[in-house]
Amino acid sequence: MGFDGTSFESRLEAMLHEMQPAGVILFARNIESAQQTHALLSECRKAVSTPSFLCVDMEGGSVDRLKKITAPAPSAASVFASGRKPFFTRHGELIGAECNALGFNTDFAPTLDLSFANSRPILGSRAVSPDPAQVAAYASLFLRGLRKTGVLGCGKHFPGLGEATLDTHQELPAIEKPWEALWEQDLIPYRLLRRGLPFVMVGHASYPAVTGDKLPASISAKWMTEILRAKIGYRGLVISDDLEMGAVQATGPIEQTAVESIRAGADIVLVCHEEAMVRRAYAALVQEAERNAEFARRISHAAHRVLAFKKKKKELQQFSSRFSIALIEKLRHEMVSFTAVLEQHAQGKASMV
């Protein structure tokens, strides 16, 4: 769940105690300073009885929630363009170190969407290449960097937004691409990385040629249960993209989409902004479980999967109560230096052309 505000107020504390969510996600609106962010995450963690996913979207470039309190991180595309594999790992390591120093243990990155012409105006520098093997190579090394710093990563946006011509924050894209092409292109990164992704985030686009309907993948059993779990063999956690986004809201109220996402195979649903939406989604899940035995079994299975995952991941057990301004300054300097090296490398490549 997301929430408003930059401090641990009584209303937030009450919500966390009542709902005991899998975790929390912070956005720029929640992040005022390094020390404040660390303190907020520490308090959120204490209010939940199981280890919490303390989440942030940190890809670098246009998706950088920490740039005002550390230093702007370079985009995935600019790092990939260097062609230097050690840079790929270093990118993940630096972002992971920043996340860890502030108290985050989960980064919803990297993006595995392919960089096709259709989606380039929307995804921009978030997508690194139209070549799925190259996307997987970058992502694998970025994830290695995150792991080195004690941060979990997440592949997104399954099954792929590379052909999307609409922004899912506002509208639901219908991707008219045949199954064979999706399997041999967009799904390759998930197939290659299925054992190395702690999370897969399912996006809000429909694929009528595959499902025969206009439902977004985030509420589709065909995509989550039949393809991601059974055919690809993914065994990590499946999480929906934010259910407050326009693309999925167009299909029904949040009560419906929260229930249908879990029913279709998600282990966790993400509700990122309004308190009312968080409460409505939570209440709908509880009510459906109380009235429907089959759904109760499904939600119990998802909960057990999440709890088993939490128990075995050491990244979730470690949280330093000590905050270090000196460490933040060191990481800021390292990110600035890394960006400068990248720029020098890019200039050197350009001068050789």
Q: What is the pLDDT of residues 218-273, one digit of tens each?
A: 999 999 999 999 999 999 999 999 999 987 888 999 999 999 999 999 999 999 99
| Separation between Cα atoms, residue 161 and residue 221, nearest integer Å | 18
Share of the chain above pLDDT 70, in %: 99
Confidence of residue 315 (pLDDT cuts 50, 70, 90): confident
| Separation between Cα atoms, residue 175 and residue 90, nearest integer Å | 34
**Residues 71-119 pLDDT 10s:** 999 999 999 999 999 999 999 999 999 999 999 999 999 999 999 999 9
With CA atoms as reference, report the closest residue to 107 among 94, 123, 121, 96. 96
Considering the chain, what is the average pLDDT of its residues? 95
| Separation between Cα atoms, residue 301 and residue 293, nearest integer Å | 12
Q: Looking at residue 169, what is its pLDDT?
A: 85
Confidence of residue 351 (pLDDT cuts 50, 70, 90): low
| Separation between Cα atoms, residue 243 and residue 172, nearest integer Å | 12
* Residue 321 predicted with pLDDT over 80: no
| Separation between Cα atoms, residue 346 and residue 292, nearest integer Å | 58
Q: Which residues pair with 9 in a beta bridge?
A: none
**Residues 142-187 pLDDT 10s:** 999 999 999 999 999 999 999 998 888 888 889 999 999 999 999 9
* Residue 350 predicted with pLDDT over 70: no
Q: Looking at residue 212, what is its pLDDT?
A: 95
Q: Looking at residue 151, what is its pLDDT?
A: 96
| Separation between Cα atoms, residue 344 and residue 338, nearest integer Å | 10
Whether the model clears a pTM of 0.85, i.e. scores above it, the answer is: yes
* Residue 352 predicted with pLDDT over 60: no
Q: Looking at residue 148, what is its pLDDT?
A: 96
Q: Compute CA distances 95 → 26, 122, 323, whole Å.
A: 15, 23, 17
* Residue 60 predicted with pLDDT over 60: yes
Q: Compute CA distances 152 → 78, 197, 314, whole Å.
A: 22, 8, 10
Q: What are phi and psi of 334, to 5 degrees?
A: -65, -40
Q: Compute CA distances 5 → 68, 103, 157, 222, 242, whole Å.
A: 17, 17, 27, 38, 18
Q: In order of start, what are the domains of the chain with their CATH numbers? A: 1-113+140-152+321-340 (3.20.20.300), 155-312 (3.20.20.300)
Q: What residues act catalytically?
A: 169, 241
Q: Looking at residue 348, what is its pLDDT?
A: 74
Q: Looking at residue 289, what is its pLDDT?
A: 97
Q: Cite the beta strand spans of the chain per DSSP E.
A: 23-25, 53-56, 58-60, 63-64, 106-107, 154-158, 199-202, 237-242, 268-270
How far out from the chain centre does Cα 128 lie? 17
